């Protein structure tokens, strides 16, 4: 039945209807872990492999500190830890909410944000952020 069509939407298998909530539970559990095991203190998490091997920051560097800061209500510090990930949070929340609604209706996930052009644009923004945050004049983007 997964490939069946109902109107213009495909039918989602029964377990697929609950998948968004499984992802939400995993994100909540991960957030609680990072909230209680502070990534600002050395020894709680391994060093970023890219940072360790090259001495340069990857696009995700500072992400755990950002989550920790958000969990503790420090929005300014969260933005300073990883501005790109911080700015992508509303898009992730929107995509998750759309997925949850469509799954509850039994429809497959679709969004303009998941089409090739926006995805390639996001990849380009991530690559530019990766490069710029490692330049001397952009030290404010470093975690």
Per residue in 51-94, pLDDT (tens digit) is: 999 999 999 999 999 999 999 999 999 999 999 999 999 999 99
Whether the per-residue pLDDT at 5 is higher than 80: the answer is: no
pTM for the predicted model, two decimal places:
0.80
Q: Which is more confidently placed, 4 or 120?
A: 120
What residues contact residue 136 under an 8 Å CB cut-off, 6+ apart?
none
What's the domain range around 88? 5-141
What residues contact residue 126 under an 8 Å CB cut-off, 6+ apart?
59, 84
**pLDDT value, residue 3:** 52
**pLDDT value, residue 10:** 56
Q: pLDDT tens-digit profile of 98-120?
A: 999 988 888 878 888 888 999 99
Instruction: Count how many domains the chain has.
Output: 1
Q: Cβ of 40: how many Cβ atoms within 10 Å?
A: 11
Whether the per-residue pLDDT at 16 is higher than 90: the answer is: no
Class of residue 115 by CB neighbours under 10 A (exposed 0-12, middle 13-18, buried 19+):
exposed
Whether the per-residue pLDDT at 6 is higher than 70: the answer is: no
Handedness of CA 57, 87, 93, 33 (dihedral sign): positive
């Amino acid at each position: 039945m997964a490939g069946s069509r109902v109107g213009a939407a495909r039918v989602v298998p029964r377990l697929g209807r609950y998948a968004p909530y499984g992802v939400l539970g995993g994100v909540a559990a991960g957030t609680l872990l990072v909230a209680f095991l502070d990534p600002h203190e050395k020894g709680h998490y391994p060093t970023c492999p890219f940072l360790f091997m090259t001495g340069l920051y990857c696009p995700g560097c500072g992400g755990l500190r950002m989550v920790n800061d958000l969990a503790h209500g420090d929005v300014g510090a969260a933005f300073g830890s990883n501005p790109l990930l911080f700015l992508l949070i509303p898009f992730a929340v929107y995509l998750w909410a759309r997925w949850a609604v469509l799954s509850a209706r039994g429809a497959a996930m679709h969004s303009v944000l998941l089409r090739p052009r926006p995805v390639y644009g996001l990849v380009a923004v991530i690559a530019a952020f990766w490069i710029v945050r490692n330049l001397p004049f952009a030290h404010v983007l470093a975690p």
